[in-house]
Homo-oligomer: A and B are copies of this chain.
């Protein structure tokens, strides 16, 4: 058996690079080093650096939405699980790939730009679907606001290592599904 580098592995390492260094800052050579290949070999699997963006975000969305509790029977559980996953990623990785790419891709890489837009729209729609199952009013708007608050909190993690704003954002997010939780 010949030892081969899996696509999953490449995408996972690309995600780390995009998250830490952004689209422009991440180089194909760095990525190749991480997976133990030469840069040219990456082009056997991916047509371009730009196409990696779509693959990275697809994997990230899958990770976030995999095996969630069924909103129809346990929407609160689905909400808590999803919020928890997002928050945990931000806490351990210190930033969000999606946000870095959202700021990092330009009109010069239109496919990457579209992939980023689609990623956030789908994530928001998934969140809104959960809230809708719980008959929360204005689910799309609440989902967008919630996601924005979680993303914004990563600012303090990267600059100061301060996790408090993220925790506050999580508390507010959970209160959406549990309004009578803790008033103070």
Contacts and interface: CB of A to CB of B under 8 A. Distances in A.
Interface of A: 20-22, 24-25, 95, 99-100, 102-104, 106, 116-117, 120-121, 141, 144-145, 147-153, 155-156, 158-160, 162, 164-165, 168-169
B106 A20 contact: yes
Contacts of A151: 151-152, 155
A117 B160 contact: yes
Contact of A158 (B102, B144, B153, B158): B102
B164 A144 contact: yes
A117 to B, nearest CB: 5
A153 B155 contact: no
A153 B159 CA distance: 18
